[in-house]
Amino acid sequence: MGRFTLFLSLASLAVPSFALTNRQLGNDVTYDYVVVGGGTAGLAIAARLAESPDVTIAVVEAGGHYETEGGPLSIIPGFAGTANTGTDPSDVSPIDWNFVAEPLAEANNRELRYARGKTLGGSSARHYMVYQRGTKGTYDQWADITGDSSWEWDSVLPYFKKSCELTPVNMTGRFDNTSVTYNPAAFDPAGAPLQVTWPNFGSPFSTYVETGLESIGVLSSTDFNSGNLNGSAWASITINPQSQKRDSSETSFLNSAVRNSSPLQVYEHTMATRLLFDGTTATGVLVESAGVPFTINARKEVIVSAGAFQSPQLLMVSGIGPRDILESHNIPVLQDLPGVGQNLWDHPMFGVVHVVNLVTTTRLLFDPPSLAEAFMEYSVQQGPLTSPGFGVLGWERLPSDKLTDSAKEDLEAFPADWPEVEYLSVDGILDGWHSAADQLVGHGEQYASIAAALVAPLSRGNISISSANAHDAPIINLNYLEHPTDQEVAIAAVKRLRAAWKGAAISIGPEYSPGEEVQTDEEILEFLRESISPVFHAAGTCAMGKASDPNAVVDSNAKVFGINRLRVVDASIMPTLPAGHPQSSIYMVAEKIAAEILNGN
């Protein structure tokens, strides 16, 4: 079978497995609950509410099906890095909002594109599928911040377990030295519908990264789903264990709801433009589809799940937010909430890159026979395309002698079990992550990166609006490296990456990036300013908190302060961003708030 023919046959896998219900465009409609945003949290909470036979639910989603509109690149894990998720403003995707953040003052005024899913599944259709949980102290701190003990680790663990089904690794197609470590007790055999497992391929490079991390004291065989992040392991990811395709909130929660004939109506390619109120009570959402405006009314509640950028934007254009911002755009102030759009957390990353003497996924870009072989292997659920381009992850609290006393004092704001740095094995070049074209260097050499992310960042960004029109992109201020302790931790992390490379027991060529000439702290910081990029973990912009906290936007049950029948349920309500990858926590939040709603809270 030719490569092109095989690619077309793989594209046939993209047909969605369900049909959406009919919509009455132009006619006002009414449901019990209206969920704005069919992303990670939105589809999860909608599907759980739909398990009640006595309610009706509408989901409003600006995009459509990523399987058809994004094609195989959005389905096959091995193409996650080539699916237009780069930071170059030209690296656009039809299933993405293609936002471009404001110039980074502490990163040489670089303007970074920030990938966000505009599709059913949201960013669960765009990310690298990592599934791991934060530390116990993270959620215990949430309980302190909100004044609600139900956010403690022991209380939220059942919601983590409820959302997903774990399938043990299939070692048939993996090398013997790629065995995984996990704690079966961290999962529930009855959990569903999200699928969590390991790919049928273990990156050879990751085995060396595991050795390199051990050489600097980041020991292997850690479980990342039991409330501890201190060490390294092969990462579990959200893929279907049988098909080895991406498992998103669409293919899991929405498909499950449709299979169960739930009372769930999805309005695809429909844009929510404004929330509607009777006084301070939410009554519905003004939407547009194919240029036609109409109203979707809510008998019980409106639930905003539009993500860390657009949930605060939708609140602001609807009159809820900082008074000065609203008045500057002639938006009548319904509720003055200064915290809307503030407290933006994210995890910036960077890498040290070498030429290596083993096969990485770089070869797929240079060697057509290797790509054809990878396609053939994937057609039987094997080979490198089952993996999203990495294997081993690690976390650590930096050794005490790597930081100044001032930095250590700043980092005491985090719980004692919270790591400062995440390490990632990357089968390719991570040097600013502009686009997949970053890999097109050299003359067929194989490249690999050991990357680091700041997972205890002290810099905070914010979200604002440029107009009262929801169609206009929000103003995104990431503010990476603004806090001097973030700069210090990042410099220390680069030195740790170089030490891990030396201990990796692998034959390597010259350092491609940042390059051996970059040695002093000042030179390393300049490298970071030119190469730092997002891990795309934006959160915190409608943060939960106590009523006495002037910067809190929602209470511990996700209800917007001062407004009746309105909640926000997505990553924006996280008061802090857990270390690592937040998708598990987003599903947990959706599960917990759905249960609160069904229990009358």
Q: Coil, strand, or helix at residue 265?
A: strand
Instruction: Give the integer Cα–Cα distance in Å for 148 and 554.
Output: 13
Instruction: Give the integer Cα–Cα distance in Å for 483 and 106.
Output: 9
Burial-class residue 123 by CB neighbours within 10 Å (0-12, 13-18, 19+): buried
Q: How many CB atoms lie within 10 A of CB 546?
A: 14
Instruction: Give the integer Cα–Cα distance in Å for 251 and 47.
Output: 12
Instruction: Give the integer Cα–Cα distance in Å for 380 and 249.
Output: 24
26: left (phi over 0), alpha (psi -120 to 50) or beta: left
Instruction: Give the integer Cα–Cα distance in Å for 97 and 39.
Output: 13
**Which 8-state DSSP code applies to residue 461?**
B
Confirm whether 537 is a catalytic residue.
Answer: yes
Rounded (10°) CA dihedral 477, 482, 487, 490: -20
Question: Could you say which of 347, 354, 483, 537 is catalytic?
Answer: 537
**Is the omega angle on the peptide bond into residue 193 within 30 degrees of 0, that is, cis?**
yes
Instruction: Give the integer Cα–Cα distance in Å for 183 and 160.
Output: 14
Long-range contacts of 313-316 (CB under 8 A, 24+ apart): 313/341, 313/463, 313/465, 313/470, 313/474, 314/36, 314/272, 314/274, 314/275, 314/470, 315/275, 315/340, 315/542, 315/553, 315/560, 315/568, 316/340, 316/341, 316/464, 316/465
Instruction: Give the integer Cα–Cα distance in Å for 35 and 549.
Output: 26
Task: Kindly calculate the radius of gyration of the chain based on its CA atoms and give it in whole angstroms.
Answer: 23
- Cβ 450 vs Cβ 211: under 8 Å: no
Q: How many CB atoms lie within 10 A of CB 55?
A: 18
Residue with tokens 């058809």: 68
Q: Cα 24 vs. chain centroid, distance in angstroms?
A: 33
- DSSP readout, 396-440? EPPPGGGS-HHHHHHGGGS-TT--SEEEEEESS--SS---GGGG-
Please list the active-site residues. 537
